[in-house]
Amino acid sequence: MTVEITLLGTGSPLPSPDRAGPATLVRTGGATLLVDCGRGVVMRMAAAGVLPVGLTAVLLTHLHSDHITDLNDVVTTHWVMSPDPVPLRIVGPPGTRAVVDGMLAMLGPDQRYRLDHHDDLNEGPTLDVTEVGPGDVLELGGATVAVHATDHRPVTPTVGYRVEHEGAVAALAGDTVPCPEVDALCQGADLYVQTVIREDLVRAIPSPRLQDILDYHSTVEQAAQTAARAGVHTLVLTHYVPPLTPGDEEAWRALASAHFDGEVVVGNDLTTVAAGAS
């Protein structure tokens, strides 16, 4: 069996005309999982051939705005495109339920308009929210999803997800610095997806607010070192800060390859990578 990931959005909080916000699609067995919901995620899902109604679950790594900004679009599109009431599973760290409740309050007027106008809509979105922590294990669409701690302090709690099906493994760490828990998350994984920064480029930008990110994100080199320690097959970089400019891919890949002998994917939005047991 194979596990397949699609980088729906490889951007960051910095707006880019070419990169949607952080979001990754994981498909394995009968599971279609959306990890994080950055800006433009529904458009990128449509381009990847998946609509919100086809999701098994939404998995949130943490509640930073750039990772959840378009959760409302996922929820609303799932609701209005479902011919019958179908619950949308949303999984995330503690605090997720409060965020979802606030989002639904924000969407209240829109939902009232639609309920008043459409005779076949009799209730608002049905959401199944599950708050998880390290050590929790979920069965979603035939895939086993294990929850691991990550380290994005002072943002807390934050989690990563290890998705397994018939021997195929994808590890999605989200925003984090290297730590033993992330090593465990991606141990022996076929695909390890890590958000990264270029420390050399960030330090060259005279902005204290931007340089503040250096202490709670993995650099390209650190992600590669994690991949090497954990014995993963393929390292997939995403959430580039500063934005990856066309033609600079090999420079990013070289920084990783100096520390990791496996395959390094430096992808644009909609890059798809598949791996695992055949």
Q: Give me the pLDDT at residue 207, please.
A: 86
Q: Give me the pLDDT at residue 125, please.
A: 92
What are the phi and psi torsion angles at 258 (to 5°)?
-70, -15
Residue 115 tokens read as 């309920």
Question: Is 176's pLDDT higher than 90?
Answer: yes
Candidate from 8-22, 106-120, 123-137 with smallest mean pLDDT: 106-120
| Dihedral, 71, 76, 77, 81 alpha carbons, nearest 10 | 150
Task: Please give the Cα distance from 158 to 148 (Å, whole number).
Answer: 9
Active-site annotation holder among 18, 36, 66, 84:
66
Residue with tokens 């990931």: 5
Segment 167-195 mean pLDDT: 97
Q: Give me the pLDDT at residue 119, please.
A: 81
1, 114, 127 from 122: Cα distances, Å: 40, 9, 15
Q: Give me the pLDDT at residue 275, please.
A: 85
Tell me the whole-structure pTM to 2 decimals: 0.96
Whether residue 190 lies in the annotated active site: no
What are the phi and psi torsion angles at 87 (to 5°)?
-65, 140
Confidence of residue 277 (pLDDT cuts 50, 70, 90): low
Task: Assess contact for 220 and 196: CB atoms under 8 A.
Answer: yes
Pick the CATH number of 3-275 from 3.40.50.620, 3.40.1160.10, 3.40.718.10, 3.60.15.10: 3.60.15.10
- Closest-CA residue to 37 (of 45, 47, 29): 45
Confidence of residue 4 (pLDDT cuts 50, 70, 90): very high
Domain-by-domain residue ranges, the chain?
3-275
Residue 118, number of CB atoms within 10 A of its CB: 10
